[in-house]
Amino acid sequence: MNSEEKQPNKAEETRLMKRYKQYLKLEKGLSARTLEAYGQDVEKLQHYLEEAGVCLQEARLEDLQTFLAGLHDIGIHPRSQARVLSGIKSFYRFLVMSDYRDDDPAELLVGPKIGKHLPEVLTVEEIDALISCIDRSSKEGQRNCAIVETLYSCGLRVSELCNLKLSDLYLQEGFIKVEGKGDKQRLVPISPRAIKEIGYWLSIRKSEWRIKPGFEDTLFLARWGNGIGRIMVFHLIKQLAEMAGITKNISPHTLRHSFATHLLEGGANLRAIQCMLGHESISTTEIYTHIDRQRLRSEIIEHHPRNIKYRNEHRLKPNED
């Protein structure tokens, strides 16, 4: 390949990116948010290669490795590096599948090492404490109770909660329909307590809330009559945690983690938890087995007779300096 062939053709690359985004949307069924992130990842690479005088379509493994090394050098977090890598791999797989090139230069790219991060988990008592801090006499009180209970009892992502519709509720059957990542729908069981809280909210919603046109089917409404947003739910959870004296660093996603962990502790099958959470891969769900094992180890250390005997013996011994 000579240097003239490698020179970037801006118009051609623009057409290529447009086809790639169409592929992600139509064939992969990715959400608008994920589609935008993948496009931005490839555009970062495109700008880098442009400065190096390399055509995006003709990049080699060495070009991609240098680009990723640059992300590391400027202090980009390993998780963000891994996400960019995922976008690049997806793009070059598309080029091969669409016969734009014969080989995949990203196939041998190695991602950064990411340590396992075990998310914060609330106890059932802490979740009850959150809900008990809600002022039910306020206009938003009953709505907030229903929000927290639904987040926890269904293990929803905050975006899934914000997008819930009245037509998604099958409360008599004990299910709700949830639209998750990639516009994939799933049916999730809902607890009797959450059904009760939603029922209370619906009666208030009907009689006391002004609803903006276009939001008649939206389940959870903001005070001005349109749908609630992610930021509002985030601030609600933070505020309730502070009022309840919970010092853990939590967010709406913490309720989802707590839901999954409590299910596992209660004996639920990992595959069932995967379906309820809407995880595409079982490996994503397996993080909860690490949480459970960690808790199990703490219980063993605390209650195992060998450890109790050891602690008693050392408590009786004088300090040896």
Q: What residues are annotated to the active site?
A: 157, 181, 253, 256, 279, 288
Domains and CATH numbers, the chain: 3-97 (1.10.150.130), 124-287 (1.10.443.10)
CA angle 98, 99, 105 (to 5 degrees): 95
Q: What 3 state SS string does 53-115 have?
A: CCCHHHCCHHHHHHHHHHHHHCCCCHHHHHHHHHHHHHHHHHHHHCCCCCCCCCCCCCCCCCC
DSSP 8-class letter at 171:
T
Mean pLDDT value across residues 166-191: 87
Cα angle vertex 248, ends 247, 253, to 5°? Answer: 140
Alpha helices in 135-267 (DSSP H): 141-154, 158-162, 192-208, 230-243, 252-265
The pLDDT, as a whole number, for residue 71 is 79
pLDDT digit string, tens, across residues 34-68: 778 888 888 888 888 888 888 888 899 999 988 88
> What is the token pair recorded at 189?
């069981």
pLDDT for the residue numbered 227? 93
Mean pLDDT of the chain: 81
**Confidence band of 211 (pLDDT split at 50, 70, 90):** very high
Whether 236 shows a pLDDT value over 90: the answer reads: yes
| In the predicted structure, residue 205 carries a pLDDT above the cut 80 | yes
C-alpha torsion sign, points 160, 165, 166, 167: negative
The model's pLDDT over 125-156, given as tens digits with 9 standing for 90+, comes to 999 999 999 998 888 999 999 999 999 988 89
Q: Are 190 and 175 in contact (CB under 8 A)?
A: yes
* Confidence (pLDDT) at 304: 47
